[in-house]
Amino acid sequence: MNKLLAAGAITVAVALTSSGCSSGTSGTDRSSAPSSEGGKQKVSFLVFPSPNLPESYWKAQVELVTKAHPDLDVELVAAPSESERNDYAKQLAASGQLPDVQIGMQDLVALESHLAPWTEAELKDFLCPTCGAVNGKVLQLPTNTQTIPNVFYNKKLFAQAGIAEPPRTYAELLAAAEKLKAKGIAPFVGGGAFVTSQPWTAILATDLYARTPDWMARRRGGQTTFAADPAMKAATQKFADLAAKGYLDKRQIGQDYPKTQEAFLGGKGAMYPMGSWFAAAADQSDMKDDIGVFAWPGDDGSLHLPAFTGGGLSVSADARNPAAAKEFALAFQLTKENLDASVKADALFPAVKGYTPPSDTGPVFKAVYDLWQKAVTEKATVPAFGWEAGDAAMLPGMQGTFWSTAQDLVSGRKNVDQALAFLDTEWEKTG
């Protein structure tokens, strides 16, 4: 899912050419005419290729839309990075080069003047039409739900360590980690960027959001801070302790996201806290039948599964042809074949009325989806800390700061008090 953006890069990778997709450029040329030859309406579409969603995926999905909407001529612009996509999109927006349609991004959504709002009528087919709203305006289509994180585990490595079943309480999770470590098996697979922060997000789900689901709203309103909240400090200490005990390996911080995925699928660690999207790669692997999944357990064993709904397309406020841009975005997000493809390629849970996943999904996706459905039925979903959208999210720029702070905690560069104070300092700078 993630690669590293070269500092200050503005040039985009050459995009794809097909009957419905013309070659990519650096952003959008606002001086060009809004229509292509033959009366077709031009729409530029910024995407972020990843291991699950390579350029070939985006090309195929765009072609599905343009076949059904022959009035559209879509220019697929492939960015050179996924991991720093918020910063990249903000650079394009600041320079007046933001493409007409983009994958939804937290920091860009927060800069609401750059995006066109969606109307109530345009949102009628979505299960949560107001998810991710900013000041009452929905700026990215609330298309998908993801659970962040789940804990994927290697059944064979669990058996080697004498662990008969997934842990149901936090104490059992620690006991399992100790058994794995004693057998010379890395308890967790970790890595750089957002990967390191996944256990922290999980602990905050069970120990903070389960009790205070509006914590982020309180932080945004100045009613609490990272350093002053005892529950935040206790949860963060739990996370730091995982590293101190050797269950999280600081040597893995240098691994990028693809390498962490390869490491888990290669049997180099027993547990992999990761978003539900990992199920797609897991189901394409040889070990798909040996991968289980459980929700990160809290102290009392009750279920609290962090979830995020949003992540859909947004349309530039300066789109050359706003009507055509919205036509494309809605068609892309509501075409059943596209939704089915997103389920299989990125293990998304489409938040679209009347939609059900295809029956031929793999065993890992089915396990993740069933876990989410169980949490929904039991009203046990909570926000996914650091992944929220709109008014429920951290301030722009803070997501990356949260991720880097997680790395500092695991590496030992910061202790808990220093980390929380740093988050507060950066929050005030951003605000």
The token pair at 165 is 């079943």
Contact 16/63 with Cβ under 8 angstroms? no
pLDDT for 39:
78
Among candidates 148, 58, 72, which has minimal Cα distance to 342? 58
Question: Positive or negative CA dihedral for 283, 284, 289, 290?
Answer: negative
pLDDT for 322:
96
Q: What is the largest CA-CA distance in the chain?
A: 68
Domains observed in the chain: 21-145+310-364 (3.40.190.10), 147-308+367-430 (3.40.190.10)
| Alpha carbon of residue 263 to chain centroid | 20
Length of the chain counted residue by residue: 431
Distances (CA, A) of 413 to 179, 233, 275, 417, 430: 27, 17, 26, 12, 22
d(CA 209, CA 232): 10
DSSP 107-176: HHHHSGGGBPPBPTTTTTTBSSTTTT-BTTBB-S---EEEES-EEEEEHHHHHHTT--S--SSHHHHHHH
Among candidates 340, 199, 209, 213, which has minimal Cα distance to 280? 340
pLDDT per position in the chain (431 positions), as tens? 432 222 222 223 323 333 344 434 444 444 444 555 567 999 999 988 777 788 899 999 999 999 999 999 999 887 775 556 667 777 888 888 889 999 866 666 666 788 999 999 999 999 999 998 888 899 999 999 999 999 999 999 999 999 999 999 999 999 999 999 999 999 999 998 799 999 999 999 999 999 999 999 999 999 999 999 999 999 999 999 999 999 999 999 988 888 999 999 999 999 999 999 999 999 999 999 999 999 999 999 999 999 999 889 999 999 999 999 999 999 999 999 999 999 998 999 999 999 999 999 999 999 999 999 999 999 999 999 999 988 889 998 899 999 999 999 999 999 999 999 999 999 999 87
User: pTM (2 decimals)?
Assistant: 0.82
Q: Give the H/E segment covering residue 76.
A: strand 72-78
> Which residues neighbour 353 within 8 Å (Cβ) at sequence distance 6 or greater?
125, 126, 127
Contact 289/368 with Cβ under 8 angstroms? no
The token pair at 181 is 């470590």
d(CA 198, CA 412): 17
Strand partners, 74: 21, 43
Q: What is the dihedral of CA 111, 116, 117, 121, to 10 degrees?
A: -160
pLDDT for 5:
24
> Which residues neighbour 359 within 8 Å (Cβ) at sequence distance 6 or greater?
none
d(CA 119, CA 133): 12
* Phi, psi torsion values for 102, nearest 5 degrees: -140, 155
pLDDT for 17:
33
CB-count burial class (<10 Å; 0-12, 13-18, 19+) for 80 = middle
pLDDT for 3:
29
Token match 């109307």: residue? Answer: 119
Strand partners, 35: 41
| Alpha carbon of residue 252 to chain centroid | 20
Residue 88 one-letter amino acid: Y
Q: Count other Cβ atoms within 10 Å, centred on residue 302.
A: 14
Q: Give the H/E segment covering residue 426.
A: helix 416-430
Q: Count other Cβ atoms within 10 Å, centred on residue 18.
A: 14
d(CA 311, CA 105): 7
